[in-house]
Amino acid sequence: MNYEDILVRYGEMALKGKNRGMFEAQLIRNIKRALDAYPAVEVEKAYGRMYISLNGAPYSEVEPKIKKIFGITSFSPTKRLNSFELETIQEAALSVMRDVSPAPMTFKVETNRSNKRFPHRSMEMNNLIGGYVLRNMPGLKVDVRKPEVLLKVEIRNEGTFISCLDIPAFGGLPVGTSGKAMLLLSGGIDSPVAGWLTMKRGVRIEGIHFESPPFTSERARQKVVDLAGIVSQYGTGEMRVHMVPFTKIQTEIRQKCPEHYLITIMRRCMVRIAERIAKKRKALAIATGESLGQVASQTMESMNTINHVTNMPIIRPLVTMDKSEIVKIATEIGTYETSILPFEDCCTIFVPKSPVTRPNPEKAEKFEAELAELEALIEEAVQNTETIIASSRPKETETMDLF
């Protein structure tokens, strides 16, 4: 069936007291933006829910877009009638049931009547609609305990709403309600998932990628832009990615610092640069894909040593997750296939044989003191950073000056 309306539920936001109005306004903006290809679409708020009137937009195209909007807990394609006439409602309920595929064996009607002027009470309506559907769909039975399909009929002041599907969405908070963070985005499996989870809490993100040409290729860069494009579908449909030239710093670190501290010092440099870009872009946090104990460079000591170079919060949404849990999310959100493409990363090229598992900030500082030009190199990398706008719509990627 080509449904004309969608009923949207948004659980957690109802708990947010004073902020509620702001969350709802942002959710409406995000829904409209996700559906901006269909200008006739209307979004209307009513009693802790929202109704989307498709006005001709095809439901099958809209559904996957709605699923990606954070803040929505579930939604139902709905048939909306402006009529309160029993026969019209019965007929519409039947057509909704007929469209369920595969055809169910059992169902149950659940009527909710908030329009008290409507002459039939809820229980009576359940029988009137249920009986009508049963007469017209031989073989179908009522099961009040565990029906395959729950046919919901809501009789409200603004119309009658009939739905039989409850499609779960991701929940969370609408992107744009919790400030901005800079995501350290590599081409791996973890950091896109970390970005997605950060966005799920309402945070807008921009990516920062460190590349080391000529050791890293154009294709490795494109992979990162592609990943940003996929993740951006869950936000505004666009994501800035700041490409930081990292070759000079990496080369300098490799020449001057002991091998087992290379990764630690490299990460500290990444965070220093990320902090500067964050300040320019008015972001309040840095997010990474680190997971405790996953590799030698992601121990508690390592995270502590890295944190020492900044006062900004570092959000690590994956810190307690197993790799299998991360892979599951990556598959679900559509980044996995791109992440596993085999292109070199700046870290894999310069990776030492045995990184220190228990680094400490004092030693890192001592080794960094050997890098006479460190401050200048960091500032130079920031100045030469190039910003790309990755888009969920292919071939719309554009390059622009930083900041």
Q: Closest Cα to residue 67, out of 403, 334, 367?
A: 334
Q: Which is nearer to ligand ATP, 122 or 331 (CB)?
A: 331
Q: Which is nearer to ligand ATP, 184 or 329 (CB)?
A: 184
Quickly list DSSP for 68-117.
Answer: T-TT--EEEEEEEES---HHHHHHHHHHHHHT-SSPPSEEEEEEEE--TT
Residue 186 sits in the site that holds ligand ATP (CB under 6 A)? yes
Residue 202 interaction partner, one of Mg ion, ligand ATP, none, beta carbon < 5-8 Å per kind: none
Torsion-angle region of residue 192: left (phi > 0), alpha (psi -120 to 50) or beta?
alpha
Q: Which of 105, 295, 340, 400 binds ligand ATP (CB under 6 A)?
A: 295
Which whole-number Å values give the CA distances from 252 to 185, 370, 378, 385, in the listed order? Answer: 22, 10, 11, 18
Q: Closest Cα to residue 253, out of 121, 370, 172, 171?
A: 370
Q: Closest Cα to residue 98, out of 137, 66, 62?
A: 137
Contact 212, 344 (CB under 8 A): no
Residue 203 sits in the site that holds ligand ATP (CB under 6 A)? no
* Least Å from the CB of residue 201 to ligand ATP: 17
* Least Å from the CB of residue 279 to Mg ion: 25
* Least Å from the CB of residue 190 to ligand ATP: 3
Q: Closest Cα to residue 211, out of 182, 241, 244, 187?
A: 244
Residue 290 interaction partner, one of ligand ATP, Mg ion, none, beta carbon < 5-8 Å per kind: ligand ATP
Which residues sit at the interface with Mg ion, rule CB under 5 A? 186, 188
Site for ligand ATP in 3-62 (CB under 6 A): none
Find the residue with minimal CB distance to ligand ATP: 188
- Residue written as token pair 């109005």: 21
Q: Which of 104, 289, 355, 359 binds ligand ATP (CB under 6 A)?
A: 289
Q: Which of 333, 346, 381, 389 binds ligand ATP (CB under 6 A)?
A: 346
Residue 294 interaction partner, one of ligand ATP, Mg ion, none, beta carbon < 5-8 Å per kind: ligand ATP
Which whole-number Å values give the CA distances from 208 to 40, 213, 395, in the listed order? Answer: 36, 16, 21
Binding site for ligand ATP (CB under 6 A): 184-186, 188-191, 208-210, 288-290, 294-295, 297-298, 345-347
